[in-house]
Chain A
Amino acid sequence: MQNGISRRGLLAGTAALGAWAVAGMRPAFADKATFAIPRDPIAPIPAGSSLRWVDSGDNKARFYKAFMPQYSDARGGAKIVYDGLPWDQIGTVVPLGIRNGTAQDVFSLPLSVSGAYAVANGWVQPYDDFMPDLAAWKAGFPAGAFLEGLNVFGGKTYGLPYNSGRMSSAYTLYSVPLMQEAGFDPAGKPLSWDDMRHAALKITQAGKGQRYGWIIGGSQVNRWGAVVRSLAQASGAAGGGSGPWADLDFRTGEYLFDSDAYVGAIDLLLAMKTDRSVFPGVMGMNAPQARAFIAQGAAGMILQGPWCVPQWQVQAPKFDFGSARTPAMNPAQGGATIVDAVASVNNTMWIWKGSKNQQLAADLFHYLGTVQGQTDWVNIVGPGDPPILPAAAKAAKISPRAQQVLELGETSVRVGPNPLVRNPALAGVTAVFKAPTPGFSATVQGLFSGQLGNVKQAMTELKSRMNAALDTALAEAAKKGSKVSRDDLIFANWDPSRDYVQADYNAL
Chain B
Amino acid sequence: MTAPVSPRPTRRRLGARLWAARMEYLFMLPGLILFGLLIGYPMVASDWFSLLDWSGFDAKSAFIGLGNYRELWNDPYFWGAFRRSFFFMLGTVPMQMGLSLVLAIVLNNRLMKWAAVFRTAIFLPVVAPVAVTGIVLTLMLSPFNGPVNGLLMSLGVIRAPLDFLGSPDLAMPTLIVVFVWKWIGTTMVYWLAALQTVPDELYEAARLEGVKGWQMTLFVILPIILPFAIVIALVSAISALNVFPLIQSMTGGGPFYATEVMEVYIFRNAFASTAGSLPRLGYASAAGVFFGLAIMVLTLLQIASVRWMRRSTRDV
Contact = CB atoms under 8 A, between A and B. Distances in A.
Interface of A: 1-6, 9-10, 13, 17, 88, 91-92, 95, 98-99, 110-113, 121, 123, 212, 218-222, 225, 242-246, 279-285, 289, 293, 298, 430-431, 433-435, 437-442, 445-446, 449-452
- B contact face: mostly helix, strand, loop, or mixed: loop
Interface of B: 55-60, 75, 77, 138-139, 141-147, 150-151, 153-154, 160-161, 163-168, 250-252, 254-258, 271-280
A289 to B, nearest CB: 8
B58 A99 contact: yes
A490 to B, nearest CB: 18
A481 to B, nearest CB: 13
A283 B275 contact: no
Given A13-B145, A91-B279, A112 B273 contact: yes
A221 B279 CA distance: 16
Contact of A439 (B144, B154, B251, B274): B274
A441 B255 CA distance: 12
A110 B271 CA distance: 11
* Complex A-B, nearest 5 residue pairs according to Cβ-Cβ distance, in ascending order: A283-B166, A4-B154, A284-B165, A435-B277, A446-B256
B55 to A, nearest CB: 8
A70 to B, nearest CB: 35
B256 A5 contact: no
B269 to A, nearest CB: 9
Contacts of A10: 147
Contact of B254 (A9, A110, A219): A219
Contacts of B275: 112, 222, 225, 242-243, 246, 435, 439-441
Contacts of A298: 144
B163 A281 contact: yes
Contact of A284 (B58, B138, B277, B278): B138
Contact of A4 (B150, B165, B271): B150
Contacts of A430: 276, 278
Given A1-B161, A243-B275, 18 more contacts: A1-B143, A3-B153, A91-B279, A92-B271, A99-B58, A112-B277, A123-B58, A219-B252, A220-B252, A242-B275, A246-B276, A281-B163, A283-B165, A283-B254, A284-B163, A293-B144, A433-B278, A451-B256
Nearest to B60: A121
A431 B278 contact: yes
Given A95-B57, A283-B166, A445-B256, A2 B150 contact: yes
A315 B204 CA distance: 66
Contacts of B166: 218, 281-284, 449
Contacts of B154: 3-5
B144 A281 contact: yes
Contacts of B143: 1, 280-281
Given A4-B150, A435-B274, A451-B168, A445 B57 contact: no
A281 B165 contact: yes
Given A283-B165, A284-B166, A88 B272 contact: yes
A4 B153 CA distance: 6
A61 B34 CA distance: 36
Nearest to B55: A431
A345 to B, nearest CB: 13
A230 to B, nearest CB: 14
8 contacts: A2-B150, A91-B57, A220-B252, A221-B252, A283-B163, A298-B144, A433-B276, A445-B255
B56 A95 contact: yes
A298 B59 CA distance: 50
A433 B57 contact: no
B151 to A, nearest CB: 6
Contacts of A13: 145
Q: Which of A91, A243, A439 has its CB near the most chain B CB atoms (within 10 A)? A: A91
A437 B74 CA distance: 12
Nearest to A442: B256
Given A5-B151, A284-B164, A298-B144, A449 B77 contact: no
A440 B277 CA distance: 12
A222 B277 CA distance: 13
Contact of A244 (B75, B273, B276): B276
A394 to B, nearest CB: 34
A246 B277 CA distance: 11
A123 B257 CA distance: 35
A331 B56 CA distance: 45
Contacts of B138: 284-285, 289
A435 B201 CA distance: 66
Contacts of A285: 138, 142
Contacts of B139: 17
A427 to B, nearest CB: 11
Contact of B273 (A9, A111, A451): A111
A20 to B, nearest CB: 11
Nearest to A243: B276
A245 B160 CA distance: 43
Contacts of B258: 449, 451
A283 B143 CA distance: 11
Given A95-B56, A243-B276, A283 B271 contact: no
Q: Which of A121, A221, A280, A284 has its CB near the most chain B CB atoms (within 10 A)? A: A284
A442 B252 CA distance: 12
A113 B276 contact: no
Nearest to B138: A284
A440 B141 CA distance: 28
A484 B143 CA distance: 50
A221 B254 contact: yes
Contacts of B271: 88, 91-92
A354 B167 CA distance: 50
Contacts of B151: 4-5
B250 A434 contact: no
Nearest to A98: B58
Nearest to A299: B144
Nearest to B165: A284
Contacts of A221: 252, 254
Nearest to A99: B59
Nearest to B271: A88
B280 to A, nearest CB: 7
